[in-house]
Structure 1
């Protein structure tokens, strides 16, 4: 299984960080590969909501990366499952409030089919690049 995770501390309360993450329309502000996003189904940030997302794929080509919110614990946990596109990882943001700051752990997991396991290191590298963008998330949220 391909796995990647990263952690950052953001100088904002967990409720504020969670609200920002839960609204998928904020993704282009901190995730460089998001070309466009729209709420496709459900209510923004709520359990079961589906976001239609266009990402930058190999050689700059657009690919779909639609996802559904699978866990919604305000201020604590936001989970998702990618439901469209070539790779369909699960992911989560785990938030831990520490005084006036919030520790955010972003993890991604992808179970590759047997025939695709030769690409495990390439997929893991791509996922590591994605979770590394927490640094940008910190900058954006702290800047207000």
Structure 2
């Protein structure tokens, strides 16, 4: 199984961080690979909501990266499953109060199947880049007025 995780402390409340993450339309603000995103179905930020994403892929082409929110616990945890595209990891954001701010842990897991098993190290590296973007999330959220 491919796995990647990262953690960062953000000087915002857990509810503020959660609200930002749960609104998938914010993905373009902190994840450079996301080119477009739209709410495809469900209620924004709630379990069952599906977001349609177009992402930068290899060689400059775009790939689908649609995902569904699989668990939503405001101020605590947000889980998702990628449902379109070449790789379909599961992920979670876990939030913990930390001295007036919030510690955010972002994890991604993928069980490669078929030919993807041969690309394990490349998949892990891509996932590490993705979770590494928590620093950008921190910058965006801390620049916003509370």
Q: How many Å apart are 1:35 and its aligned residue?
A: 0.3
**3-state DSSP of counterpart to 2:84:** coil
Within 1, Cα distance between the matches of 2:43 and 2:116? 35
C-alpha RMSD of matched pairs (Å): 0.7
Q: How many Å apart are 1:114 and its aligned residue?
A: 4.3
Q: Structure 2 matches for 1:23-34, cutoff 5 A?
A: 23-34=23-34
2:124: which partner in 1?
A: 124
2:13: which partner in 1?
A: 13
1:94: which partner in 2?
A: 94
1:4: which partner in 2?
A: 4
Question: Unmatched 5+ residue regions in structure 2?
Answer: none
What is the TM-score with the length of structure 1 in the denominator? Answer: 0.98
Question: Structure 1 stretches (4+) deviating beyond 3 angstroms?
Answer: none
Cα deviation per residue 1:68-114 (whole Å; 9 max; x = unaligned)? 00010000000000001111000000000113100000000000014
Residue 113 of structure 1 pairs with residue 92 of structure 2: no
1:60: which partner in 2?
A: 60
1:38: which partner in 2?
A: 38
Q: How many Å apart are 1:48 and its aligned residue?
A: 0.2
Cα deviation per residue 1:10-65 (whole Å; 9 max; x = unaligned)? 00000000000000000000001000000000111000000000000001110000
Question: Unmatched 5+ residue regions in structure 1?
Answer: none
Within 1, Cα distance between the matches of 2:22 and 2:95? 12
